[in-house]
Chains A and B, each alone.
Chain A
């Protein structure tokens, strides 16, 4: 009994979140709300993976839309053209995404952060161009329609509620994997390499290998999310997988909180809910996101999960405990 209690206590946050996520469809039959929640789930999967890469390993990908695109198009093409079983198609697409991530990651991850950012950005653009240009395979800008729903053992996951449970079930498994990863030997070595790559190398962490590993995991998360998405909306087109989407994914990670697994939860919720409120001012949405990115990086680098801590710090500073005044620490002089 005590063991059970201590287990519940240790994992209270996860269990609480899981209960809320899985219980949500019991309170609404509204298809629109259920769809928003389901899309939040797929978005959450991508952001979780990207959060591992950016927050834990300190590497940025500006081409993550491409990995989601590989999953989406992999599933779409395999199921509509060759009538592959949707689950097998999802697995094959994820495998492809992981392979591509490995091929891209090995050379670029050895370099400094800028190069990975530009490398992934270039990769994302190439994937987008190919999706548009390979008309014989992807049907170009018209996209592919008629993608079947997922089903298993007689359960039709085309129904909003069933789909919600499926997506959030998988998303929760991914969350558990991420939480475990952060607390594991792998997570500790990632954190070490984020702080000082040279120091962690000297302590025997194979830094390049670890970074590629995380990129591959995050590519698989994104690919699976892409597959789920197209099986629900039954349609895919290249316009969903642009550079802007990659930037919005990175924004979600930053706003939630870099390096905090729970930040991915809050970031996904905020980034899905905010556009709903800004619906009237749709043109301004990306302006808001861009400005938020800058402001958060300058004033709240820990993201919204760190608001509590930041408020405490501010209170202490206002309380006069702060000795150091602000200002540019760089020495000034005429030249």
Chain B
């Protein structure tokens, strides 16, 4: 039995080096600045994207990969005789998974398991990385899918945005919509809930307090246990991101830490200055 191939999309924000190391296949979404179209995390690095974002007068838009994009990747892997586990951006936020499913239906003979990660950025990314590690150890597609579903329950993710405007404009605001236009300096602590929607956990006054609360929450979520922790930042640490990293280091038992950059598509919807923490028990 050939090794299971793990496929994801560009919004998982897995650094290219890690993708290559683990042999993860990635189908990019697209970012449009007016007439110009870029492949997410391929044609456009996060750094270039945020520079363009500042310079561009309007707002970029994004689009999901076409079924053909997925078909091409699935076909190549299936032809090599490999079963496929394909893990993607929350179906509540994007139609990406629909394209994947359409592509799967075009290959009735292939063994393809499409998984709704019900998350975004490295929230999907950590599921994908674990899946790839399992695949490398020889796990079957069914085992991987089951482990990923289980893992989804044990992870925690929190993120802070500079402003809710971007989430609102992209329609990805979910249940945080009530906070739009708030005149007080309110920082909602956001997560992605079980349905894969952006959801506020609590609202606090000021970024400092928000950082403190995120750290408190993580410490309470994983008491006395080492954790695998990923910080997702927009290029060039913001003050908030730096303070968050510092405080986490002092408070949380971190077994393994990585920092990833939030890519163009997620960046389009979350806005500059977004910072996320993705935690799983080790």
Decide if A and B are genuine partners: no
Residues of B within 8 A of A (CB): none
Residues of A within 8 A of B (CB): none
